[in-house]
């Protein structure tokens, strides 16, 4: 599936399966840094949000889509470079709401963890 925003920030989906995903992003200081010289929190948040959607989509029935309701994220450490990995898993999927968790890792260290709820609904023609 084409994802223009992911392409904009250089986010690549390595795997997206039934209830899990793994996304990768190579830090580019010219595109991803904030004024303090570390990866902007919005980049890390976008990784979690996109990873959650990618993990949930394969569980949807034909004609269904999902949308973020809310995401809570905790930042534990700054990232200054290298490769970021976002590993996501589906924790609970109801008929109308799903809950997912993402862990963002840099150089083997967890730098952030997010928990999100997504609405599940049918596409109306």
CATH number for 90: 3.10.129.10
pTM here is: 0.94
CA gap 73, 70 in Å, rounded: 10
> Which pLDDT score, from 0 to 100, does residue 3 have?
84
pLDDT for 75:
98
Higher pLDDT, 4 or 102: 102
Distance of CA 58 to the CA centre of its chain: 15
Q: Tell me the residue range of the domain where 68 lies.
A: 4-122
Q: Quick check: 104 pLDDT over 70?
A: yes
69 touches 53 (CB < 8 A): no
- Indicate if the pLDDT at residue 123 is higher than 90: no
pLDDT > 70: percent of the chain = 98
pLDDT of residue 124: 80
State pLDDT tens for residues 49-91: 999 999 999 999 999 999 999 999 999 999 998 999 999 999 9
- CA pair distance 115, 74, nearest whole angstrom: 9
The 3-class SS string of 77-118 reads CCCCCCEEEEEEEEEEECCCEEEEEEEEEECCEEEEEEEEEE
Segment 105-124 shows an average pLDDT of: 96
pLDDT of 1: 63
Distance CA 101, CA 120 (A): 16
pLDDT tens, residue by residue, 17-27 = 889 999 999 99
The domain tally of the chain equals 1
CB-facing half-sphere around the CA of 70: CA atoms within 13 A: 1
């Amino acid at each position: 599936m084409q994802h223009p925003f992911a392409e904009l920030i250089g986010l690549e989906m390595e795997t997206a399966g039934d209830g899990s995903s793994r996304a990768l992003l190579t830090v580019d200081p010219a595109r991803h840094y904030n004024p303090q010289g570390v990866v902007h929190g919005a980049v890390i948040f976008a990784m979690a949000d996109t990873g959650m959607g990618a993990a949930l989509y394969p569980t949807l029935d034909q004609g269904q889509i999902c949308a973020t309701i809310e995401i809570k994220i905790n930042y534990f450490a700054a990232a200054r470079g290298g490769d970021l990995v976002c590993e996501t898993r589906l924790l609970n999927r109801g008929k109308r709401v799903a809950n997912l968790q993402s862990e963002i890792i840099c150089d083997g260290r967890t730098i952030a963890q997010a928990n999100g709820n997504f609405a599940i609904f049918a596409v109306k023609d």
